[in-house]
Structures are given as C-alpha cells and as structure tokens.
C-alpha cells in the first residue's frame, strides 16, 4: 500500500491538475469543473483523499493514471454520476 501512495505523491501538482482536467473533458469526472480543479489546494485536499474518492466510485486512480486501456475502459463505462458501472469493475 505504501508504494501506491508514493506513486501518487511523485506526480507534480501541475501534472495531476492536467490529468484531472482531462478526466473532466472526457466526462469521467462529472462533479468537478476545470476551474474547481485549477483552484484545488493539494495541501487542504490531499491526493490520497482524491484517490479514496475515486475508489468509492469503483475506479482505481493509480491504474487510471498508468494504464491507457483501463482509462478507455472507464471512459466508456462510467455512469451519469461518475461511478464505474458495477458489472464493469475490475
């Protein structure tokens, strides 16, 4: 578990923001706007909190960051609330 947290900490804040904005454009992220992500304070809202948020939606954030095929899988199968459909969870 420690390695997973280290991976997410190694991403620069600007790269992580770009990734979150890409998720908004690709309609994986349904609740946040690009301006919200731009103003997101990674000291107040830790990356692990964001990671847990996606885990609650059935999405593995680390795998989403590192695996293009998983990203495409999630993009196709996320519902209107931003949750990965139960039958498609891996």
Residue with tokens 């690709």: 26
Span 67-85, pLDDT tens digits = 899 999 999 999 888 888 7
Per domain, the residue ranges of the chain are: 2-88
Q: How confident is the model at residue 2 (pLDDT cuts 50, 70, 90)?
A: very low
Cα–Cα distance for residue pair 31/59, rounded to 1 Å: 15
CB 85 within 8 A of CB 28: no
pLDDT at 90 over 70: no
């Amino acid at each position: 578990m420690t390695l997973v947290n280290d991976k997410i900490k190694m991403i620069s804040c600007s790269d992580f923001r770009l990734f979150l904005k890409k998720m908004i454009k690709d309609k994986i992220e349904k609740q946040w706007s690009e301006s919200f992500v731009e103003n997101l304070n990674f000291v107040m809202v830790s990356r692990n909190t964001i990671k847990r948020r996606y885990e609650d939606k059935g999405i593995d954030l680390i795998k989403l960051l590192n695996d293009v095929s998983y990203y495409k899988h999630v993009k196709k199968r996320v519902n209107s609330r931003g949750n990965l459909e139960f039958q498609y969870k891996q």
